[in-house]
Amino acid sequence: MVKIAVVLGSTRPGRNGEAVARWVYDLAGKRSDAEFELLDIADFDLPMLDEPVPPSMGQYSHEHTRRWAAKVAEFDGYVFVTPEYNHSTSAALKNALDHVYAEWNNKAAGFVSYGSAGGIRAVEQLRLMMAELQVATVRAQVALSLFTDFENYSSFHPAADHEPAVTALLDQLVCWSQAMKSVRERDPLGTIYRS
């Protein structure tokens, strides 16, 4: 059975993402085809990227990076829960992605976003980053509006039609996570895709 992280991609005090991530995690918990874990990047206190060697070299010198790398490596796939700030994802999530490299490779990801435009521009930015990290992204995604899915822009009350969208996202993500696991087993060092 594959293991999938629901990644809470905001560290801002009072963040809306916590309620969204818990909602996704609770829906995922009703499934029996994968194991899910809520992964809050705030728990790792990552500084701005401070590794002297590029992460793609895999030579992590700081304990916080090694701890983060070990956690990321545990999973076969990820649901990234992201806000949209200035047409992109949060700096905290970008920084967490940038800290490690091989631990993301040949895995799968899906996205749940929120913002005034549903967070879709943040997801477009994340899809570009995922391609460079050698992560396969699924088509299904969930876009939540601050205007209709949050009361007073802060109390999360998702519209009923979002639940089937989460199910579709997870269906695709579980399938792709299983497929990418076979890719990692064929190429455990990631040498096929490195130039």
Mean pLDDT of 9-27: 97
Mean pLDDT of 172-187: 93
Query: For residue range 65-103, what is the model confidence (pLDDT) as tens digits?
Result: 999 999 999 999 999 999 999 999 999 999 999 999 999
Residue bearing the bigger pLDDT, 194 or 62: 62
pTM for the complete prediction?
0.95
CA distance readout (Å), 35 to 116, 117, 172 = 31, 31, 15
**For the chain, how long is the longest CA-to-CA vector?**
50
All structural domains of the chain with their residue ranges = 2-186
CATH number of the structural domain 2-186? 3.40.50.360
How many C-beta neighbours within 10 Å does residue 67 have?
Answer: 15
Mean pLDDT of 167-189: 92
Burial class (CB in 10 A: 0-12, 13-18, 19+), 61: exposed
Burial class (CB in 10 A: 0-12, 13-18, 19+), 116: exposed
**Average pLDDT over all residues of the chain:** 95
Task: Classify each residue of 147-160 as buried b or exposed e, where b means 16 or more C-beta atoms within 10 Å of its C-beta.
Answer: eebbeeeeebebee
